[in-house]
């Protein structure tokens, strides 16, 4: 499914089965936040969800929210973050950043953190100082992006901004969704479950005024007096859309999400004239750390050259690996730091071999003669002084690689299991209004969460938490705005 569904005209609808001020399509984190805020702003809200309950990918997630600007957890951990520092970082690190979207998110983050806590999403006042991909403890705060990576660490004062919900295990997002869905139940939000939205309805002026949904084998129609909010998640379960926008992800990669993350919201929006953006944006990760000592190794491509600072966020490293010739790369280690990568779910586990000399390793990896010897020679010469003038890896992760024997892991794209989520989607402005291909707002239509292209649009600028953080934040924005429309 790559083509937008038909668009329906209000005049064609003979009978509306239901009506509300605001209709929210999809009840993951963006939809739940949108619905709560719209109802509190005085709107009569109807949520239409394809599954038998709310939750979506959000309920499967690790529960890391990227938030900053001076949250209570950051303050408790002794970090002085500001909205401006967060903005400067996200703008500098962004591949195609939208200044207004990022400004709105950064300025609203502290209030949003307080709101999440007030809704019953618990965050411990605790901090993990190390470098990890995710935590299985209840520890909250961790650096989850490229804040300490050059040049960003010189542009904006680094601060940890990954806030993990206080539940043990890999699935802390379930606790966030339990809390938000409990609030939705308390608020007696009207919901239709097992109901798939299959088309939007517009009036003669092109304003979105309702939806068609399929429930128990029957087509039904619901009218929206003020607006429709799309919050159906990403599109990584739609093989045809993947083939069109990121065909390389169809091989050995694993999409992260629920089966209904099939891009429906994106296609529904397009049927009403919406533009899409960053559709090839993907966060695909196969982390070679932990253990963090592996960051002291170097990554080289088939030319024997380094291409990314090894202390980058794993998603940024993965994005650079996929750009190398043949999508191939090796992690080079000496015996002082050798260890097997620990993560088994998304991993680079192919140990190529061990060698007594760099020359033998170069031949064993079939790298151009002299290339690895030159690369390591340069690296080691500067590493003696704790420096990396080529890629500016942080001194914390620099040591000369001189302790034979040497080893290499094959971290090539086809030798790793990449878990991924899509980052592209409907073009929206900072108010979550959907923007049309003609540049004008599509009246009556809003989008939030992974069906919209939002703060992060590329693996190089992703940080863990940049889905749940902006998804929940802009879900609320959409709910308030739609409630006030009309
Ligand atoms: C294992 C895992 C770990 C992750 N960890 C993190 C993390 O720690 N931090 C982070 O920021 N991100 C994380 N992510 C990504 C993040 O969970 C998602 O990007 C985010 O939850 C998307 O939220 P959403 O509300 O946009 O979509 P979802 O939560 O997927 O909700 C969309 C809802 O829309 C419904 N729907 C779809 N189509 C229709 C239709 N046509 N009609 C009606 N309903 C429809 C779906 O059934 C679903 O319930 C993780 C993802 C996974 C799977």
Q: Where exactly are the structural domains of the chain? A: 1-281+424-486, 287-416
Strand order in the sheet with 298-300: 298-300, 330-334, 406-410, 350-355
DSSP state of 416: B
Q: What is the per-residue pLDDT for 252?
A: 75
- Ligand 1 center to 193 CA (angstroms): 16
> Could you tell me if 404 and 356 are in contact, meaning their C-beta atoms sit under 8 angstroms apart?
yes
- Of all protein residues, the one whose alpha carbon is nearest to atom 1 of ligand 1 is 61
Residue range 1-281+424-486 forms a domain whose CATH class is: alpha beta
Structure confidence by residue, pLDDT tens digits, 265-293: 999 999 999 999 999 999 998 888 889 99
Cα of 354 to ligand 1 centre, how many Å?
A: 42
CA of 442 to the centre of ligand 1 (A): 24
Q: Which atom of ligand 1 is nearest to the CA of 62?
A: 8
Task: Supply the residue whose CA is at minimum distance from atom 4 of ligand 1.
Answer: 61
Per the structure block, which two tokens stand in for 310? 């090894």
Q: Contact at 8 Å (CB) between 62 and 138?
A: no
Q: Which residues of 431-448 are buried (b: 16+ CB within 10 A; e: fewer)?
A: ebbbbbeeeebbbbbbbb
pTM across the whole model: 0.96
Bridge-based pairing of strands 45-48 and 190-192 is parallel
Q: Which helix or strand (DSSP H or E) is residue 141 part of?
A: strand 141-142
3-state secondary structure of 170: coil
CA of 360 to the centre of ligand 1 (A): 47
**Cβ pair 210, 222 in contact under 8 A:** yes
Neighbours of 41 (CB within 10 A): 18
Q: Which of 25, 28, 196 to mutate to test the pocket of ligand 1 (most atoms within 8 A of CB)?
A: 28
Name the class of domain 287-416.
alpha beta
Token pair recorded at residue 184: 């939705």
Q: What pLDDT is stored for residue 369 in this prediction? A: 97
Q: Kindly give the distance from the C-alpha atom of residue 282 to the centroid of ligand 1, in angstroms, as a whole number.
A: 14
> Which atom of ligand 1 has the smallest separation from the CA of 54?
49
Contacting residues for 255 by C-beta, under 8 A, at least 6 apart = 236, 237, 249, 261, 419, 420, 421
Question: For residues 64 and 132, is the Cβ–Cβ distance under 8 A?
Answer: no
pLDDT at 350: 85
56, 258, 478, best to mutate for ligand 1 pocket (most atoms within 8 Å of CB): 56
Residues with beta carbon inside 6 Å of ligand 1? Answer: 25-31, 48-51, 55-58, 60-64, 173, 196-197, 231-234, 256-258, 260-261, 264, 421, 449-450, 464-468, 471
Q: For residue 214, count other CB atoms closer than 10 A to its CB.
A: 15
pLDDT tens-digit readout, 12-52: 999 999 999 999 999 999 999 999 999 999 999 999 999 99
Provide the pLDDT for residue 349.
73
DSSP string, 180-225: HHHHHHHTT-EEE-SEEEEEEEE-TTS-EEEEEEEETTEEEEEEEE
- The low-confidence residues of the chain, meaning pLDDT below 50, are none
Among positive and negative, which fits the CA dihedral 251, 256, 259, 261?
Answer: negative
Determine the pLDDT at residue 343.
Answer: 79
Determine the pLDDT at residue 74: 98
- CA nearest ligand 1 atom 21, residue: 58
For the record, the structure tokens of 172 come out as 């802390």
Pocket test for ligand 1, best of 33, 50, 57 (most atoms within 8 A of CB): 57
Q: Whose CA is nearest to atom 13 of ligand 1?
A: 61
Distance (Å, whole) CA 279 – CA 321: 19
pLDDT of 296 reads: 97
Q: Give, for ligand 1, the residue of 23, 27, 47, 58 to mutate: max count of ligand atoms closer than 8 Å to Cβ.
A: 58
* Residue (of 478, 412, 472, 482) closest to 176 by Cα position: 472
Best mutation site among 35, 50, 60, 61 for ligand 1, i.e. most ligand atoms within 8 A of its Cβ? Answer: 61
Find the angle CA(130)-CA(291)-CA(395) to the nearest 5 degrees. 60
CA 394 to ligand 1 center in whole angstroms: 34
């Amino acid at each position: 499914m790559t083509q937008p569904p038909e668009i329906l005209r209000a005049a064609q609808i003979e009978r509306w089965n239901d009506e509300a001020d605001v209709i929210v399509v999809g009840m993951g984190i963006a939809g739940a936040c949108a619905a709560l805020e719209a109802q509190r702003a005085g709107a009569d809200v109807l949520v239409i969800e394809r599954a038998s309950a709310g939750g979506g990918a959000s309920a499967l997630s690790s529960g890391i929210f990227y938030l900053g600007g001076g949250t209570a957890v950051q303050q408790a951990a002794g970090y002085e973050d500001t909205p401006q520092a967060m903005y400067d970082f996200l703008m500098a690190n962004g591949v195609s950043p939208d200044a207004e979207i990022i400004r709105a998110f950064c300025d609203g983050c502290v209030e949003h953190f307080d709101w999440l806590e007030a809704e019953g999403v618990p965050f411990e006042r605790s901090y993990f100082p190390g470098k990890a991909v995710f935590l299985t403890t209840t520890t909250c705060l961790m650096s989850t992006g490229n804040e300490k990576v050059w040049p960003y660490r010189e542009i904006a004062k680094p601060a940890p901004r990954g806030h993990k919900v206080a539940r043990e295990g890999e699935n802390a997002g379930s606790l966030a969704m339990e809390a938000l869905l409990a609030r939705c139940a308390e608020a007696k939000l009207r919901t239709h479950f097992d109901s798939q939205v299959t088309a939007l309805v517009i009036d003669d002026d092109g304003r979105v005024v309702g939806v068609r949904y399929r429930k128990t084998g029957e087509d039904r129609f619901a009218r929206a007096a003020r607006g429709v909010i799309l919050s159906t998640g990403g599109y990584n379960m739609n093989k045809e859309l993947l083939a069109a926008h990121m065909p390389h992800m169809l091989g050995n990669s694993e999409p992260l999400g629920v089966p209904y993350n099939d891009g429906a919201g994106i296609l529904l929006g397009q049927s009403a004239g919406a533009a899409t953006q960053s559709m090839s944006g993907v966060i695909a990760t196969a982390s070679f750390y932990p253990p963090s000592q592996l960051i002291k190794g170097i990554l080289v491509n088939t030319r024997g050259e380094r291409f990314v600072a090894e202390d980058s966020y794993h998603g940024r490293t993965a994005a650079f690996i996929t750009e190398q010739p043949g999508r191939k790369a090796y992690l080079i280690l000496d015996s002082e730091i050798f260890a097997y990568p620990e993560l088994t779910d998304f991993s680079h586990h192919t140990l190529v071999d061990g060698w007594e000399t760099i020359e033998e390793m170069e031949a064993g990896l079939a790298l151009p003669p002299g290339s690895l010897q030159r690369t390591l020679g340069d690296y080691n010469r500067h590493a003696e002084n704790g420096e990396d003038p080529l890629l500016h890896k942080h001194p914390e992760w620099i040591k000369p690689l001189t302790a034979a024997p040497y080893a290499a892991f094959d971290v090539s794209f086809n030798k790793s299991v990449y878990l991924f989520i899509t980052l592209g989607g409907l073009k929206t402005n900072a108010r979550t209004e959907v923007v049309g291909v003609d540049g004008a707002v599509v009246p009556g239509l809003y989008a939030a969460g992974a069906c919209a292209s939002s703060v992060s649009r590329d693996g190089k600028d992703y940080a863990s938490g940049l889905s749940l953080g902006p998804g929940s934040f802009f879900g609320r924005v959409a709910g308030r705005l739609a409630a006030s429309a009309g």
